Protein backbone atom coordinates (compact mmCIF):
# COMPACT_ATOMS: atom_id res chain seq x y z
CA UNK A 1 0.00 0.00 0.00
CA UNK A 2 1.79 3.09 -1.26
CA UNK A 3 1.45 6.42 0.53
CA UNK A 4 0.90 8.25 -2.75
CA UNK A 5 -1.89 7.00 -5.01
CA UNK A 6 -1.46 6.59 -8.76
CA UNK A 7 -3.62 4.81 -11.31
CA UNK A 8 -2.04 1.43 -12.08
CA UNK A 9 -2.24 1.93 -15.82
CA UNK A 10 -2.63 4.53 -18.53
CA UNK A 11 -2.53 4.36 -22.30
CA UNK A 12 -2.51 6.47 -25.41
CA UNK A 13 -1.74 6.39 -29.09
CA UNK A 14 1.30 7.99 -30.70
CA UNK A 15 0.98 11.77 -30.80
CA UNK A 16 -1.65 11.90 -28.07
CA UNK A 17 -1.40 13.68 -24.73
CA UNK A 18 -1.77 11.63 -21.59
CA UNK A 19 -1.82 12.60 -17.95
CA UNK A 20 -0.97 10.59 -14.86
CA UNK A 21 -2.28 11.65 -11.48
CA UNK A 22 -0.72 11.33 -8.04
CA UNK A 23 -2.76 11.87 -4.91
CA UNK A 24 -1.29 12.42 -1.48
CA UNK A 25 -2.02 14.28 1.73
CA UNK A 26 -1.16 17.43 3.64
CA UNK A 27 1.96 15.82 5.10
CA UNK A 28 3.56 15.08 1.73
CA UNK A 29 2.32 16.65 -1.51
CA UNK A 30 0.37 19.29 0.40
CA UNK A 31 3.54 20.79 1.88
CA UNK A 32 6.44 19.45 -0.18
CA UNK A 33 7.39 19.39 -3.81
CA UNK A 34 6.84 16.42 -6.10
CA UNK A 35 9.26 14.52 -8.29
CA UNK A 36 8.42 12.21 -11.16
CA UNK A 37 10.52 9.29 -12.35
CA UNK A 38 10.43 7.19 -15.50
CA UNK A 39 11.49 3.57 -15.26
CA UNK A 40 12.04 1.67 -18.49
CA UNK A 41 11.83 -2.13 -18.27
CA UNK A 42 14.84 -3.58 -16.48
CA UNK A 43 16.38 -0.17 -15.85
CA UNK A 44 16.85 2.18 -12.92
CA UNK A 45 14.43 5.06 -12.48
CA UNK A 46 15.31 8.32 -14.19
CA UNK A 47 14.42 11.77 -12.89
CA UNK A 48 11.85 13.40 -15.19
CA UNK A 49 10.44 16.25 -13.13
CA UNK A 50 11.59 17.84 -9.87
CA UNK A 51 10.09 20.60 -7.71
CA UNK A 52 6.65 19.90 -9.21
CA UNK A 53 7.35 21.23 -12.70
CA UNK A 54 11.07 21.55 -13.34
CA UNK A 55 12.79 19.44 -15.99
CA UNK A 56 16.42 18.35 -15.64
CA UNK A 57 18.56 19.11 -18.64
CA UNK A 58 18.02 16.56 -21.38
CA UNK A 59 14.38 15.83 -20.55
CA UNK A 60 12.18 16.86 -23.51
CA UNK A 61 9.61 19.57 -22.95
CA UNK A 62 6.95 17.04 -23.94
CA UNK A 63 7.04 16.12 -20.26
CA UNK A 64 5.48 18.55 -17.81
CA UNK A 65 4.40 18.48 -14.21
CA UNK A 66 1.93 20.36 -12.07
CA UNK A 67 0.69 20.38 -8.51
CA UNK A 68 -2.46 21.60 -6.84
CA UNK A 69 -3.19 21.11 -3.18
CA UNK A 70 -2.51 17.48 -2.27
CA UNK A 71 -2.41 16.20 -5.85
CA UNK A 72 0.06 16.31 -8.69
CA UNK A 73 0.02 15.37 -12.34
CA UNK A 74 2.46 14.39 -15.02
CA UNK A 75 1.54 15.20 -18.60
CA UNK A 76 3.19 13.71 -21.65
CA UNK A 77 2.37 15.30 -24.98
CA UNK A 78 3.24 14.01 -28.44
CA UNK A 79 3.31 10.46 -27.10
CA UNK A 80 6.04 8.24 -28.54
CA UNK A 81 6.57 4.50 -28.40
CA UNK A 82 9.74 5.12 -26.34
CA UNK A 83 7.58 6.62 -23.59
CA UNK A 84 6.21 3.18 -22.75
CA UNK A 85 7.44 2.73 -19.18
CA UNK A 86 6.48 2.85 -15.52
CA UNK A 87 6.09 6.31 -14.00
CA UNK A 88 6.41 7.05 -10.30
CA UNK A 89 5.65 10.16 -8.30
CA UNK A 90 7.57 10.85 -5.10
CA UNK A 91 7.63 13.42 -2.34
CA UNK A 92 9.03 14.11 1.09
CA UNK A 93 6.64 13.26 3.91
CA UNK A 94 6.73 15.16 7.18
CA UNK A 95 4.74 12.75 9.29
CA UNK A 96 6.14 9.29 8.79
CA UNK A 97 9.47 7.76 9.62
CA UNK A 98 9.94 7.42 5.88
CA UNK A 99 10.89 10.82 4.56
CA UNK A 100 10.65 9.77 0.95
CA UNK A 101 7.34 8.28 -0.17
CA UNK A 102 6.53 6.94 -3.60
CA UNK A 103 3.42 6.30 -5.59
CA UNK A 104 2.63 2.74 -6.58
CA UNK A 105 3.58 3.46 -10.18
CA UNK A 106 1.63 3.82 -13.40
CA UNK A 107 2.37 1.58 -16.36
CA UNK A 108 2.02 3.61 -19.53
CA UNK A 109 1.21 1.67 -22.67
CA UNK A 110 1.56 3.25 -26.10
CA UNK A 111 -1.03 1.57 -28.30
CA UNK B 1 29.50 12.82 -15.06
CA UNK B 2 27.70 11.60 -11.97
CA UNK B 3 27.78 7.82 -11.64
CA UNK B 4 26.65 5.34 -9.04
CA UNK B 5 27.82 1.80 -9.76
CA UNK B 6 26.50 -1.01 -7.62
CA UNK B 7 27.85 -4.45 -6.86
CA UNK B 8 26.62 -7.51 -8.68
CA UNK B 9 23.69 -9.82 -8.14
CA UNK B 10 23.59 -12.01 -5.07
CA UNK B 11 21.87 -15.25 -4.15
CA UNK B 12 21.38 -15.85 -0.46
CA UNK B 13 19.70 -18.41 1.75
CA UNK B 14 16.99 -17.43 4.23
CA UNK B 15 18.48 -16.13 7.45
CA UNK B 16 21.66 -14.93 5.78
CA UNK B 17 22.87 -11.36 5.31
CA UNK B 18 23.80 -9.39 2.22
CA UNK B 19 25.91 -6.29 1.79
CA UNK B 20 25.50 -4.18 -1.34
CA UNK B 21 27.99 -1.53 -2.37
CA UNK B 22 27.44 1.69 -4.31
CA UNK B 23 30.59 3.25 -5.78
CA UNK B 24 30.11 6.91 -6.64
CA UNK B 25 32.05 9.22 -8.91
CA UNK B 26 31.73 12.52 -10.73
CA UNK B 27 30.71 14.63 -7.76
CA UNK B 28 31.69 15.50 -4.18
CA UNK B 29 30.75 12.38 -2.26
CA UNK B 30 30.27 13.99 1.15
CA UNK B 31 27.98 16.72 -0.17
CA UNK B 32 24.95 14.59 -1.02
CA UNK B 33 22.93 12.07 0.94
CA UNK B 34 22.62 8.53 -0.41
CA UNK B 35 19.27 6.78 -0.27
CA UNK B 36 18.52 3.08 -0.65
CA UNK B 37 15.30 1.97 -2.34
CA UNK B 38 13.91 -1.53 -2.70
CA UNK B 39 11.83 -2.85 -5.60
CA UNK B 40 10.32 -6.32 -5.29
CA UNK B 41 9.61 -8.19 -8.54
CA UNK B 42 6.78 -6.50 -10.42
CA UNK B 43 6.25 -4.04 -7.58
CA UNK B 44 6.82 -0.36 -6.91
CA UNK B 45 9.59 1.57 -5.22
CA UNK B 46 10.00 1.42 -1.45
CA UNK B 47 12.26 3.81 0.45
CA UNK B 48 14.53 2.08 2.95
CA UNK B 49 16.66 4.83 4.40
CA UNK B 50 19.43 7.34 3.86
CA UNK B 51 22.95 8.00 4.98
CA UNK B 52 24.74 11.31 5.26
CA UNK B 53 28.16 10.46 3.79
CA UNK B 54 29.75 13.41 5.56
CA UNK B 55 28.79 12.48 9.11
CA UNK B 56 27.69 8.87 8.78
CA UNK B 57 24.30 9.73 10.26
CA UNK B 58 21.51 7.46 9.10
CA UNK B 59 17.73 7.39 9.02
CA UNK B 60 15.96 4.11 8.38
CA UNK B 61 12.35 3.45 7.49
CA UNK B 62 10.59 1.98 10.50
CA UNK B 63 9.94 -1.21 8.58
CA UNK B 64 13.66 -1.90 8.21
CA UNK B 65 14.96 -0.69 11.56
CA UNK B 66 17.02 -3.35 13.32
CA UNK B 67 17.67 -5.25 10.12
CA UNK B 68 19.36 -2.71 7.85
CA UNK B 69 22.66 -0.92 8.33
CA UNK B 70 23.95 1.78 6.02
CA UNK B 71 27.61 2.77 6.08
CA UNK B 72 30.12 4.54 3.91
CA UNK B 73 33.83 4.67 3.17
CA UNK B 74 34.78 8.23 2.33
CA UNK B 75 38.25 7.21 1.13
CA UNK B 76 36.76 5.31 -1.80
CA UNK B 77 33.51 7.32 -2.13
CA UNK B 78 31.41 4.22 -1.63
CA UNK B 79 28.22 3.63 0.30
CA UNK B 80 27.07 0.28 1.61
CA UNK B 81 23.83 -1.27 2.72
CA UNK B 82 23.62 -4.47 4.69
CA UNK B 83 20.40 -6.38 5.28
CA UNK B 84 20.35 -9.17 7.86
CA UNK B 85 17.94 -12.04 8.56
CA UNK B 86 16.90 -12.27 4.92
CA UNK B 87 13.60 -13.89 3.98
CA UNK B 88 12.07 -14.67 0.60
CA UNK B 89 10.17 -11.37 0.91
CA UNK B 90 13.52 -9.61 0.56
CA UNK B 91 13.98 -10.88 -2.98
CA UNK B 92 14.19 -7.60 -4.82
CA UNK B 93 16.33 -5.14 -6.71
CA UNK B 94 18.03 -2.69 -4.38
CA UNK B 95 18.94 0.76 -5.71
CA UNK B 96 21.21 3.40 -4.27
CA UNK B 97 20.39 6.95 -5.27
CA UNK B 98 21.86 10.41 -4.72
CA UNK B 99 19.89 13.17 -3.07
CA UNK B 100 20.77 16.55 -4.56
CA UNK B 101 18.83 18.42 -1.90
CA UNK B 102 16.86 20.96 -3.89
CA UNK B 103 16.03 18.46 -6.59
CA UNK B 104 15.62 15.49 -4.30
CA UNK B 105 16.71 12.07 -5.51
CA UNK B 106 18.27 12.67 -8.92
CA UNK B 107 20.80 10.00 -9.92
CA UNK B 108 20.34 6.26 -9.37
CA UNK B 109 22.60 3.25 -9.38
CA UNK B 110 21.84 0.48 -11.85
CA UNK B 111 20.35 -1.74 -9.15
CA UNK B 112 21.45 -4.97 -7.48
CA UNK B 113 19.24 -8.03 -7.62
CA UNK B 114 19.22 -10.00 -4.39
CA UNK B 115 17.53 -13.38 -4.58
CA UNK B 116 16.69 -15.15 -1.34
CA UNK B 117 16.03 -18.82 -1.85
CA UNK B 118 16.65 -22.06 -0.04
Q: How confident is the model at residue A111 (pLDDT cuts 50, 70, 90)?
A: very high
What pLDDT score does A95 carry?
A: 76
Q: Tens digits of per-residue pLDDT, A28-58? A: 999 999 999 999 999 999 999 999 999 999 9
Separation of alpha carbons A68 and A86, rounded Å: 23
Q: Tens digits of per-residue pLDDT, A48-88? A: 999 999 999 999 999 999 999 999 999 999 999 999 999 99
Q: How confident is the model at residue A97 (pLDDT cuts 50, 70, 90)?
A: low
Q: How confident is the model at residue A98 (pLDDT cuts 50, 70, 90)?
A: low
Cross-chain residue pair A35–B109, CB shorter than 8 Å: no
Residue A96 pLDDT > 90, yes or no? no
Strand-pairing partners, residue A9, are A107
Mutate to test the interface with B, among A91, A99, A107 (most CBs of B within 10 A): A99
Chain B residues within 8 Å of chain A (Cβ atoms): 35, 37, 44-47, 50, 59-63, 95, 97, 102-111
Percent above pLDDT 70 for chain A = 97
Residues B21-57 as b or e (16 or more Cβ within 10 Å = b) = bbbbeebebeebbbbbbbbeeeebbbbbbbbbbeeee
Q: Pick from B104, B87, B114, B116: which is nearest to B33 by CA?
A: B104
Cross-chain residue pair A105–B44, CB shorter than 8 Å: yes
Q: Tens digits of per-residue pLDDT, B1-51? A: 999 999 999 999 999 999 999 999 999 999 999 999 999 999 999 999 999
Determine how many CB atoms are found less than 10 A away from the CB of residue B9: 12
Q: Pick from A99, A105, A100: which is nearest to A86 by CA?
A: A105
Q: Tens digits of per-residue pLDDT, B63-110? A: 999 999 999 999 999 999 999 999 999 999 999 999 988 888 999 999
Amino acid sequence: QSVLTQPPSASGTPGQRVTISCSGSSSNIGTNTVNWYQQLPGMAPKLLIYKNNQRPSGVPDRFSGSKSGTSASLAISGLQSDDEADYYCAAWDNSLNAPWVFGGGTKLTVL
Amino acid sequence: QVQLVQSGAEVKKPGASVKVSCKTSGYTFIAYYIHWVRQAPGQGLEWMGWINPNTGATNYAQKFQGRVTMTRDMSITTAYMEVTRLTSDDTAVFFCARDEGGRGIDYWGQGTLVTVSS
